[in-house]
A and B are shown apart, each in its own frame.
Chain A
Amino acid sequence: MKINQELCVGCGMCVPYCPVGAIHLEDRKAHIDADACVECSCCRRSGVCRKNAIVQDELSWPRGVRSVMSDVFTVYEGTGVSGRGTEEMKTNDVTGRFRPGWVGVAVEMGRPIAACTFRQVQEVSVALAASGIVEFEPCNPITALMKDNKTGYFQDDILDERVYSAILEFPVKLEDLPRVLELCKQAAEKTDTLFSLDVCSVTQDGQNQKVLEILDKAGMSARPNGKVNLGLGKPAYQF
């Protein structure tokens, strides 16, 4: 994204619209810091600029990855889902992605509104992969950008690309959840950015209660609000 300097009148109205603080005023004109910008299009789409001075420049590779991971309207071909998301537990009733005995874990690097580089994501993905108990979700753009999803290393050319957020998603066996939570705690101490963490589980055989017990033992707690899949999808996955 860039500002057409001839059209910009330097009103500064666009500045607070940038989620990652990439817009600043200088010499009575707005400027976008290309390194900081994650190509989310929030500024342009907001319509805040009455002079239409916010323009999308051509995004070639590897910069284009910023848009895939940051712009709500950019659909990743591999998932068919816009933005950086996947179907995750939302369609678990028909996909059976997270089965009894397994827990889904999502580490969303850069969220909320801190952003992250792939180098920062890699620090966490490599640590998780090294445990040997994590296999990253194949239907996630992040996994497709890895050189090797068994090691968690990303393609070299995208390492310094900055994105709004990147979700490391993977299923783990219920008995391995404590180890993963410990790895997440260690990652939290080392990372220069932040991440949101969540877990999902089927309710069958009271497994969700077992997850709560594991969280409690790990010194972690769930927020009072969460998400539930009501099992209304068809054809229902037969566990």
Chain B
Amino acid sequence: MVIDKIKKVTVIDTKANTKASDMMVGKWIKCDNCKEILYKEDVRNNYSVCPNCGKHFRLSSRRRIAQIIDDGTFEETDSNLHTTDPIKFEGYTQKIKLLEEKTKIKEAVKTGFGKINGINVAIAVMDANFLMGSMGEVVGEKITRLIERAIEKHLPLIIFCASGGARMQEGMVSLMQMAKTSAALSKLNKAGLLYISVLTDPTTGGVTASFASLGDIILAEPKALIGFAGPRVIEQTINQKLPEGFQRAEFLLEHGFVDRIVERKDMKEELYRILKLHNY
């Protein structure tokens, strides 16, 4: 298997890049599930899903939008919002700056408008690469503004969730974003607009306990970790190991908290079908 991959690499690489050193550096990843060595380009061409075992790797918000939204139709909103460091937590603003440089994104969510096979939607995509996708004031504010604009424009709302929960570095201001976003969704409900929540790996804590769980329709990616309390906290509380598959998307489906599990390659089409059935 590994040898096959190396052969494949050589072919692709001679076309794209003639430098021999590039072939060896940073082009390989190991699947943390099946341990297979994979050529990055293959994974990328496969929606960032392991071609061997089907593991859905975490996606950046940028690449998620590229997979879901029609080319050239995404208009980002509020990309210029930054945190006011509400509790003046030592080292926090420096940490944000470093992350901005490292990840080339400004916050843990991208919001905006775009089309899915021609249908206009309001969309938010969280990014676990940025402080574990944690929700602070900027995440809460961007999502709330998006919901309010969706109401103004009568657009359906889609949120791709990926978050470790509330952003501790912002203290109680982060907790209150749960109330703020949920209140905005209550208005969206009253306006009769569709909200599809898509749970991706990981969706936990304060995000699970707010907008992630409030979709009219809740979809999840295969094997995504979804829960309120983190697995380690639960293990410490009950003093035993958690059963295999606990808090995975399939577990939530079985317990009635998710409507459907959708593979990444089918996600756009699935969203489109649902939107169409709601007359958008």
Pair from one complex: no
